[in-house]
Chains A and B, each alone.
Chain A
Amino acid sequence: MAITVKKIDASPKMNLLERTYLREILRGLWITNRHFVVNLTRHILNLFRIKAKPGAVTIQYPEQHRGYHKRLRTAHYLAHRENDDGPRCVGCMMCETICPAKCIYIVPTEHPDPNVEKQAVKFTIDMGRCVYCGFCVEACPEDAIRMDSGRLDICSYSREGMLWDMDRLLANHHDPAPYKDEEKWLDEEF
C-alpha cells in the first residue's frame, strides 16, 4: 500500500464571542472562584461537624492512599505453600531468565521432599533496577512470585538497601487496604 499523507486541521474553530476574549476570561474566573467558595464552605461546615460533602483536598500520602487499581504492579513478594510454611518457589529461574532488567538473582538447592526436588536458597530482587514489567509474574509456573502487595513506597538510603532478599520477599504479602477504594478510583474522572 502506498504511503498517503492525510492533513488534519486541528485548530479550534472559535466564534465571534470567543474571539473577543473578555467573556472567556470572566468565565474562567467564575469557575475558579466557584470551586474556591464551594470547597471553602464545605470545609467550614465539616469543621463545625455539620454534615456535608467533603471539600476537595490534597491526599495526605502516606497516611492516605488513592485507591489502587487491581492491575497495578506493586512491590514483589514470594507466596507460601498452602499447608506449610515453605515458599512456593521451586527455583526454576524462569523469572530470572525472562527479566529484562536482569534484577533477579536466584541460587537453587535440593529440597528435602523428593517430590518437590528443587527450592531457592537465595532469591534476591534488586528493586532499584526492577522496571515493574511483571514478566516474572507471567513466567512463574508455580504462581510463587506476585506483584499485588499494594506497596509502592520502595525506598532506601543505599543501593544495598534496594536488594530485597528472600526473607524480606517472603515477609511481604498481599495487603487489600490500598485496593478498597478501587470502585471510586474507576468512577473518578481524569
Chain B
Amino acid sequence: MSEERKMVKVTIDGNQYEVPAGTTILEAAKSVGIEIPHYCYHPGLSIAGACRMCLIEVEKVPKLQIACYMTVGDEMVIYTTNERVKRARKAMLEFHLVNHPLDCPVCDQAGECGLQNYYMLHGLYISRVRENKVKKGKKATQIGPHVMLDQERCILCSRCVRFCNEIPKTSELGMFNRGDREVVDIFPGRELNNPYSANVINLCPVGALLSKEFRFKTRVWYLETVKSVCMRCSRACNILIDYNIRRPWKNDGRRLSRLRPRYNAQVNDWWICDEGRFGFDFVDAADRLTVPLSAAGGAQAHSGWEAALETAAARLRQAASEIGDVAVLVSPRLANEALYLLKRVLAEQLPGTSVAFSSLNEHEPTQDDILRKADKNPNTTGAEFLSLTTANAEVKDHAYLLQTAKKGNLSALIVIAHNPVGLPELYGRGWSEALDKVPFKVFIGTNENETSRKADVVLPLAAFAEYDGTVTNFAGRVQLLRRAFDPLGEALAGWELLRRLGNALGGEYDFGSAGEVFDELAQKEDKFAGLSYGDIGELGVKVNG
C-alpha cells in the first residue's frame, strides 16, 4: 500500500487496540479476536443493519449502536459483552424466534445454523411467547434449479437479496410485505437461475435457503471437511470439500456430499459458481474406472497393475523402436506433479515421443467477469509453465494427431483424460476410424468413455478429491488440491500412476508423495523456481513467471 492508513486508538472491553481508521467496529473487533454476533452483515456485501444482533455499547452514545455500520473513532470506548449488550442480544434473539418454526429436526441447516449457534451462546432459554406463530407463505418451494426457499424459517436478514443485487447483479429476489408478514420471495415470473445462485445457500444464516441437491441427503454433523480448490475451470476457486465415508448408506452411496466456497481474496472472494459447486458427479459416478483393464486380443478384462503396466511398457517400447511414432495426448486436467512426471518419463524413457496438447473438454466454455473462465481446465497454465502446451513449438495439437493417426503413421498412442471419440464436434470427426489404425492405445482417465472402450490398456486415474497435488490457475497461482478420501477401487493419483509407468519402462522413479514430486519440479523448472510444497499453504502462492 502506498499511503499509510491512519491508525486510531480504541478501547474494546477494557483493552486498548490500534486499528485502521474507517473500519467498522465489527471488523475492528474481529481483527483483534473479538467475535460480535451478526446475521445480516457479510464482508462481501453492502451493510443493511437489518438484524440488530451486533448491538454494542459505545461510551458517550446514549443508545446501543450496531457494530456492523458504525466506524471506529479515535479514543472510542466500546463494550461488546456488558450486561446492557447481553440483554439486547437476548431480546433480539427472542424477536428473531417469535415466528421461527423451530423445525430443526427436519431442517438441513441444523448443525450450522446461526440461530442455533447464537441461541446456545446468548439465548433466553425460557420462552415468554404465548401467542401463536404467524405462519408465513409456503414451506419449501423450489425457486431455482439449485435453491429451495422456506419463508417460514427466514429471519429477514436480506443477505440473499443483496447478493443477487450486488454480485451477479441479476436481482431475482426481493422483500415483500411489511411487519410480521414480511417475506423474502422471488419476483413473479422470475427464477433464481443466475450462474452464482447457490451462493445464497451459504449466505443464509438459517435454513430458509437450502440446496436442492443436498436436501435431506445427510446431516451436516456427519460430514468431514478438507480445504481444496475447484477443478472445474482455470480460476481454481478455493473450496471446502464436505464428504462422508463413515456412513456409506447416506447420499445414495456417494462419498462427496457437497462443495462450499472458501474465502480467498486473491482468487474468488467468498463465492463459487454453480457449475463448480455441482460439477462433481463424475467422482462417484457408476462409470468410474476402478481397476486396470487390458485387452489382450479380445475384450477389455480386469488385470492387476503389474500386468497392465508391463503390457503397456512392453508395447510402448516395441512401438518406439518400430517405424512410426508414439504420441501422447496430454490433458490440462492433470495436476502439476503428474504433468511434470509425464514430461520426465517421456524424455527419459520414450525419447522422440510426439506430445500433443488439447485443452478441450466436454464442458461448455461459459465465462463472465465475476469468476467463470472459458478454459474449463484447472491446470492449463501449469502445463504451459512446463512447456507442454502448443505455446511450445514442438508440442502439436489434437488436429495434427488426428491427421497422423488417419494416415496410419502412429504405432502407439496414450490418451490422458480426453474423449476425442465421444466428442466429434470438438475434437474433429474420424477419431474412431483413426484410432482403429493405431496398433496400441493406452487410456489414462477417471471415467469410462467412448475413447477408453477402444483402448488396449486402460489405467484408472484418481479423480478430484482423491489425491493431493497442486494446480496452477490462469493467473499463475499455485494452489493445493487436497485428498479427502481414498481413490475408488485401485485407481491411482496421476503422479503415482506415471511413476509406476516410468518404472515399468525401465526407469527409476522414487517418490513417496506429491510433495516430493513438486519439490523436484520446483528445482528443475524455472517457472516454479523457489517454491516448495510446504510453503504453498491454504491460499496458494503466485508463481514468478
Give me the interface of A with B, judged by CB distance under 8 Å: 90-94, 97, 105, 107-110, 114-118, 122, 141-142
Q: Quick one: closest B residue to A139, CB to CB? A: B105
Partner of A122, one of B138, B215, B221, B249: B249
Majority secondary structure of chain B interface residues (helix, strand, loop or mixed): loop
B105 touches A142 (CB 8 A): yes
Interface presence of B74 (CB below 8 A):
no
Q: Quick one: closest B residue to A94, CB to CB? A: B105
Number of interface residues of B (CB under 8 A): 14
B249 touches A105 (CB 8 A): yes
A-B contacts, 7 of them at CB < 8 A, read A90-B106, A107-B249, A110-B216, A114-B138, A114-B140, A117-B106, A118-B106
Interface string of B217-255 (1 = CB under 8 A from A): 001011000000000000000000000000101100000
Q: Quick one: closest A residue to B248, CB to CB? A: A105
Interface presence of B139 (CB below 8 A):
yes
Known: A97-B222, A114-B138. 10 other contacts (CB 8 A): A91-B216, A93-B219, A97-B221, A105-B249, A107-B249, A110-B215, A114-B139, A117-B103, A117-B106, A117-B139
Residues of chain A lying within 8 A (CB to CB) of residue B219: 93, 97
Residues of chain A lying within 8 A (CB to CB) of residue B140: 114, 117
B221 touches A118 (CB 8 A): no
Give chain A nearest CB distance to B151 CB in angstroms: 12
Give chain A nearest CB distance to B217 CB in angstroms: 8
Residues of chain B lying within 8 A (CB to CB) of residue A116: 106
A92 touches B106 (CB 8 A): yes
Lowest 8 CB-CB distances: which A-B pairs, in order? A92-B105, A118-B106, A114-B139, A108-B216, A141-B105, A117-B106, A105-B249, A90-B106
Give chain B nearest CB distance to A87 CB in angstroms: 14
Residues of chain B lying within 8 A (CB to CB) of residue A93: 219
Q: Quick one: closest B residue to A142, CB to CB? A: B105
Query: Which residues of B73-108 have CB atoms within 8 Å of chain A's CB atoms?
Result: 103, 105-106
Give chain A nearest CB distance to B545 CB in angstroms: 50
A108 to B217, CA, bound (A): 7
A29 to B250, CA, bound (A): 65
Partner of A109, one of B103, B216, B222, B247: B216
A110 to B140, CA, bound (A): 10
A115 to B140, CA, bound (A): 9
Residues of chain A lying within 8 A (CB to CB) of residue B216: 91, 108-110, 118
Residues of chain B lying within 8 A (CB to CB) of residue A107: 249-250
- Which one of A109, A115, A118, A141 has the greatest number of beta carbons of chain B within 10 Å? A118
Query: Which residues of B258-301 have CB atoms within 8 Å of chain A's CB atoms?
Result: none
